Amino acid sequence: MHARISLSRRTLLTTFFVLAVGAAAGTVALADPPGPIPIVPRPPIIPQVNAAPQVPLLQATGGPYIGDAAALAAATKIARGPIGRQELRFLRYRDWVAFTGDRTTTIDLDREVYVVVTSGTFVGRSGSPTCASYIAVIDASTGDGLSVMCGQGTWPTRLPDAFK
């Protein structure tokens, strides 16, 4: 009985020592800013595969529209610095989708847009390239920008069919 108690005391003392060392190691790791901090694993959540189609938030309006001058001005705002040549076409969003192969589903395919090509510098968010030209999709009803694509060179080598 006495021996068992001694064993437990030894065990407890060792446990305390190891815990103290462990805690100190943890403190050092947390106190060192450059050190990586591990991600704490949590119970997994099942990803939402087979998500439902989005109901478009921007439907076709039928007008009134902002007009060419306002569309050009909206596209100009995107440039970093002075711009050169500009061209625009009045299209449906589906024309832009057919050109790029990409679609933001909050926009209905029939939504009226101005597609404006600009020779000018465009820089997007961090990590994006610096482009010498760009193509902007401007909402024909509100004047808001909906999408922008970097051009290749000072004038895009590839454009929607409506520009041919």
Partner 1 sequence: MRYLARLPLIFALVIALIPVSADRAAAGSGSCASNPYNYFSSACYYKDTQYSGAYVARSSVALNITQTAASSGEYISEHLILRDRQSAPAGTTSFLEVGDTAGGGQVIGHVHEWARMWYWAGDANPSRTYTENFIQYAPNDSVLRGWGMQWETSSPCATNAWVIYIAGSCKAVISSWNQPTNTADMKMFTGLEVGKGGAPLDASENSGLFDNQQQQWRDLTNTWHTWDLLWTQVDSPCGTAPTCLQGWWTGIWNNAKPAQ
C-alpha span between 103 and 134 (Å, rounded): 18
Q: Which region among 61-69, 85-93, 95-103, 109-117 touches partner 1 (by CB under 8 A)?
A: 95-103
Q: 93 with 108: CB under 8 angstroms?
A: yes
Q: 124 with 151: CB under 8 angstroms?
A: no
Which of 105, 154, 161, 162 forms a contact with partner 1 (CB under 8 A)?
105
Q: Which is nearer to partner 1, 72 or 137 (CB)?
A: 137
Q: How far is the CB of 83 from partner 1 (least distance, A)?
A: 15
Which of 1, 31, 52, 69 forms a contact with partner 1 (CB under 8 A)?
52
Sequence letter at residue 12: L
Which of 1, 34, 62, 63 forms a contact with partner 1 (CB under 8 A)?
34
Residue among 129, 33, 40, 123 at smallest CA distance from 81: 123
The three state secondary structure string of 79-99 is: CCCCCCCEEEEEEEHHHHHHH
Q: Which region among 60-68, 86-94, 101-109, 110-118 touches partner 1 (by CB under 8 A)?
A: 101-109
Classify the C-alpha dihedral 158-159-162-164 as positive or negative.
negative
Contact residues for partner 1, defined by CB under 8 A = 4, 7-8, 11-12, 14-15, 18-19, 21-22, 25-26, 29, 33-42, 44-54, 57, 77-78, 100-106, 123-129, 131, 136-137, 139, 144-152
